[in-house]
Structure 1
Amino acid sequence: MRPGDRWTLAGARWSRGGGDGAFTVTDPATGETVGEVPVGTAVDVAAAVAAATRAAPGWAATAPAERGAALHGAASAVERHADDLAALVTAEMGKPADDALGGVRAGIGTLRQYAELGPLHGGRSLQGGWSAADFMAREPLGLVAIITPWNDPVAIACGLIGAAVVTGNTVVHKPSERTPHTGALLTELLAGSLPAGVLNMVSGDGTTGEALAGHPDLDAIAHVGSTRTGRRVAELAAASGAKTLLENGGADPLIVDADVDPAWAAEQAATGCFANAGQICTSVERIYVHGAVAKDFVAALTARAQALRPGPGDDPSTELGPLVDERHRSQVHEQVEKAVADGARLRAGGRIPDGPGCFYPATVLDYCTDHMAVMAEETFGPVAPVRAVASFEEALDRANRSRYGLAATVLTRDMAHAQRAWRTLKAGTVKINAVFGGAPGGAATPRRASGRGFGYGPELLDEMTAVKVVHLETDVS
């Protein structure tokens, strides 16, 4: 199931949209063409914004229970086409099939979560005098632009769009230019259960995103993606006064304490560094390992990296899919080469393989230093840079020497160390003894250069609403 020429949705009208510009999406595993996509114009953006504006009053006035029921319907539509969406994710960005389907199922679960929580979302009241009452009511922000990434295009879009529409907002969705077919099909499935104009869409590249984020009629912009783009979104929002929800890049540290089994720690590190070829917002980007276990840890991590089976995402035996495109692979390899030139020791990977596609091997580097880009910046590839440290305190100190603050992981048997870590680390999420995981409905709020505002969880409903304070006097005598 492909979107065909349905690339722009404004109200009830789908069209191809775009002007003279277009771009080609290729399968990163084979190099074959997935499709050609028009570049949405400012005219397309204006039409989508106008449709969302027209729909806003009626949707805001719709009973919360009705909005929740509509979102349940949208979740059912996505569920019916889960395999189609997963296949598009694999074709466009290379994610192994099981992981791609897992992302779609996570999105469905998030839609149903918000369908249930949305009607229960409210404010609070205060008792003043006998004839007066004060209350804080939650109202929709209004018109929300949602700009979604390519690395988990269904789950993230479902979370942001679901929270926005269930709280009474209307939306203009701009999917990543790297996964536009996935974004278009997802929008079509969601919009089919909503009144016309509640969910709209424009496809395109960065120029389309710029036109959308800079539109003066927006009330909020939610963006998940690179730090550079997030900063530009913040600049545009500052000019219009739109609220921003930003999840930008990260350089998430992993700390390995002296008292853990180095083989187990290496398995955790391999998962954190190599899952989805390292293309996860909260991937492990730098590792600080206590010198007492560093040698065994690096040896085990190297063996695990060398054992991973690379291949196309539609092969069930694949453990490491390709990077999203050649441009991204070049950026990852450049960081690795520069680290080696600056003294890092290459233990595994680090070389671009022959053949088609954008594959990059699981790579392990040790003797890394904090000034190397592979440690200081977000690599977003299957790279594990390691630095040995003399103490747990040194690891905490080095982990905090970053402009980013998305997430951090600590592996330790010492609960005093665990307590000190979550108290000390300057990150929105701190994970103890597991690189991934967390309870359903968990929220996250990035810090510093990694962004602002809650993403996911019940708290996202707060972010998608504004508080109105009302003082009501009933005695008019």
Structure 2
Amino acid sequence: MMQAPSPRLPALIVDGKPLSTRDAFDVVDPATARPFAQAPLATRDDLDLAVAAARRAFPAWSATSIEARAEAIERIADALEAERDSLAALLSREQGKPLHTSAGGEIAGAAQWARATARLRPPVEVIRDDADELVEVHRRPLGVVGSITPWNYPVMIAVWHIIPALLAGNTVVMKPSSYTPFTALRFIEIASAHLPPGVLNSVAGESGLGQSMVEHPGIDKITFTGSTGTGRRIMASGAANLKRLTLELGGNDAAIVLADADIDAIAPKIFAKAFGNCGQTCAALKRLYVHDSVHDALAAKLAALALQAKVGPGSDPATQFGPVQNKAQFDYLCALAEEAKAMGARFLCGGAPMTSDGYFFPLSVAVDAAEGMRIVDEEQFGPILPIIRYSDPEDALARANANENGLGGSVWSSDLAAARKLAERMQAGTVWVNDHATISPDAPFGGAKQSGIGTAFGLHGLDEYMQLQTVRISRRAA
């Protein structure tokens, strides 16, 4: 199918103006595995310009009232909604997700999330208020925030990083993934038009640019969403100047299905939570532990749903699931599947790449999976769901908790009280009962163990972009 022409490609924005760059880099359409455009490549000097602009803008922006900052964010949300169609087309082209469903949904969701965040107000805590002393705890902005965003949700995660940073009174330099730079850069163009020059800036490219951001003395905080390995490197590099960090890292989320679960009711929901965005979601359901008594029935239902799903180019209105976003991830999935087969796993559907152009891997359900297989031990971050049989819920819980990751976990059962007791013992930042991966802008979200440091969303997430300041006023005569 012929691809629709892309909208105008965005530029880098520094100090409120487009920044010309000498070089560019290819951006690949995952549906064809071929480059479709070139993005501007920033240098270390360009990064220095962006940071300097952000530092100049910080005093005035931090002194602006939070009500005025929130009004600017509302205008940004309006502008996002106004450009939903063009942004969705660009997002589908570079990321691969279906244009007519999830691409447009990401843009609409980003605007709604920005509005919800704009309504947050950090509290002033009164510790003491008596005749002798007034003691209060205030929140103050940090300075310049460096945002490094991933390729799975380029606009939504940019909003998650940038909007609370702006509301808190910080200025921002953002670097998108080089796999999906265009929609994030276009978001910066749109947003910066509603902000004073220098408040929001963008750079793009690899070749150590992210590392330069982490090491840059003019950046006070890094917020990063991505792999645990990269997060560890960021933490090590940021230690040189005690840089504040929020790291939302890998997840290998486990779900435990108890013997009393209503299989007909939960199968479609588990399918959606495992395969949404082709499994390329940090908090997707990635390891499914199923009681022996219902294992075969649930596995069969999930495989049937996977076989019915339409995988194809994001531009095709019939497509429900697009390609894997990049070749490295595609090759990793192929290797995981082959290794799992060699170790005795059986694929009820899928399990091998599709014979077509692009990075297409079918929705795949594997049984006879177990710990010791990389398909279980490692985060697949793709459309493969391993199902692990168990007979004792305590054993399933121990196996679920044995993984180094701890982003999310869930329990599925008709007995809500029993499910809750088990879920609360999962070692994860968020746990669900009869659900998975549902998040909202008013509830904190972050990882346990190796799945990250810090939290996002709600007032707890807003705190990540602010410094506590204790104010003590003596009322006693001098």
Structure 2 residue corresponding to 1:116, chosen from 94, 119, 141: 119
**Structure 1 residue 139: deviation in Å?**
0.3
- Measured against aligned partners, the alpha-carbon deviations of 1:419-461 in whole angstroms (never above 9, x if no partner) come to 2223200001111102243555222121111101111223211
1:218 maps to a residue whose letter is I
Whether 2:421 is the aligned partner of 1:420: answer yes
**Structure 1 residue 248: deviation in Å?**
0.6
Match of 1:430 in 2: 431
**Structure 1 residue 273: deviation in Å?**
2.1
Match of 1:61 in 2: 63
Match of 1:454 in 2: 455
Match of 2:199 in 1: 198
Moved more, 242-251 or 74-83: 74-83
2:175 maps to a residue whose letter is K
Q: Map of 1:2-81 to 2, 5 A cutoff? A: 2=7, 4=9, 6-7=11-12, 9-17=13-21, 20=23, 22-81=24-83
TM-score with structure 1 setting the length = 0.95
- State how far apart, in whole Å, the 2-side matches of 1:3 and 1:158 are: 21
CA contact (8 A) 1:263 1:296 kept: no
**Structure 1 residue 161: deviation in Å?**
0.6
2:29 maps to a residue whose letter is D
1:332 maps to a residue whose letter is L
CA contact (8 A) 1:140 1:465 kept: yes
- State how far apart, in whole Å, the 2-side matches of 1:106 and 1:239 are: 37
Match of 1:290 in 2: 291
Gap runs ≥5 in structure 2: 1-5
CA spacing shift, 1:438–1:187, aligned 2, 3 Å: closer
**Structure 1 residue 475: deviation in Å?**
3.9
Match of 1:389 in 2: 390
1:25 maps to a residue whose letter is V
2:97 maps to a residue whose letter is K
CA contact (8 A) 1:150 1:176 kept: yes
Moved more, 147-156 or 122-131: 122-131
**Structure 1 residue 96: deviation in Å?**
1.1
- Measured against aligned partners, the alpha-carbon deviations of 1:182-236 in whole angstroms (never above 9, x if no partner) come to 1110000011101111101101125111111111222111001111111111111
1:252 maps to a residue whose letter is D
- State how far apart, in whole Å, the 1-side matches of 2:224 and 2:31 are: 27
- State how far apart, in whole Å, the 1-side matches of 2:117 and 2:426 are: 30
- State how far apart, in whole Å, the 2-side matches of 1:268 and 1:28 are: 27
**Structure 1 residue 309: deviation in Å?**
1.0
Q: Map of 1:165-204 to 2, 5 A cutoff? A: 165-204=166-205
- State how far apart, in whole Å, the 1-side matches of 2:446 and 2:353 are: 35
TM-score with structure 2 setting the length = 0.95
CA contact (8 A) 1:2 1:181 kept: no
- State how far apart, in whole Å, the 2-side matches of 1:320 and 1:439 are: 23
- Measured against aligned partners, the alpha-carbon deviations of 1:330-377 in whole angstroms (never above 9, x if no partner) come to 111101111111111121101112121111001111111111111111
**Structure 1 residue 170: deviation in Å?**
0.5
- State how far apart, in whole Å, the 2-side matches of 1:438 and 1:155 are: 13
SS of the residue aligned with 1:287?
Answer: strand
**Structure 1 residue 29: deviation in Å?**
1.2
Q: Map of 1:54-453 to 2, 5 A cutoff? A: 54-97=56-99, 98-117=101-120, 120-205=121-206, 207-439=208-440, 441-453=442-454
1:42 maps to a residue whose letter is R
- Measured against aligned partners, the alpha-carbon deviations of 1:369-396 in whole angstroms (never above 9, x if no partner) come to 1111111111101001011001222211
SS of the residue aligned with 1:357?
Answer: coil
- State how far apart, in whole Å, the 1-side matches of 2:328 and 2:127 are: 56
- State how far apart, in whole Å, the 2-side matches of 1:25 and 1:414 are: 49
Moved more, 42-51 or 263-272: 263-272
1:160 maps to a residue whose letter is H
SS of the residue aligned with 2:273?
Answer: helix
1:398 maps to a residue whose letter is R
CA spacing shift, 1:189–1:151, aligned 2, 3 Å: same
SS of the residue aligned with 2:72?
Answer: helix
CA spacing shift, 1:29–1:430, aligned 2, 3 Å: same
- State how far apart, in whole Å, the 2-side matches of 1:33 and 1:448 are: 38
- State how far apart, in whole Å, the 2-side matches of 1:39 and 1:392 are: 52
CA contact (8 A) 2:288 2:385 kept: yes
CA spacing shift, 1:211–1:439, aligned 2, 3 Å: closer
SS of the residue aligned with 1:114?
Answer: helix
Match of 2:3 in 1: none
- State how far apart, in whole Å, the 1-side matches of 2:420 and 2:363 are: 32
CA contact (8 A) 1:3 1:184 kept: no
CA contact (8 A) 1:250 1:406 kept: yes
**Structure 1 residue 126: deviation in Å?**
2.5
SS of the residue aligned with 1:398?
Answer: helix
CA contact (8 A) 2:16 2:200 kept: no
- State how far apart, in whole Å, the 2-side matches of 1:449 and 1:177 are: 25
CA contact (8 A) 1:5 1:15 kept: no
CA spacing shift, 1:434–1:128, aligned 2, 3 Å: closer
CA contact (8 A) 2:247 2:453 kept: yes
- State how far apart, in whole Å, the 2-side matches of 1:206 and 1:277 are: 28
- State how far apart, in whole Å, the 2-side matches of 1:293 and 1:132 are: 64
CA spacing shift, 1:215–1:439, aligned 2, 3 Å: closer
2:306 maps to a residue whose letter is A
- State how far apart, in whole Å, the 2-side matches of 1:195 and 1:307 are: 50
- State how far apart, in whole Å, the 2-side matches of 1:382 and 1:140 are: 40
- State how far apart, in whole Å, the 2-side matches of 1:212 and 1:440 are: 27
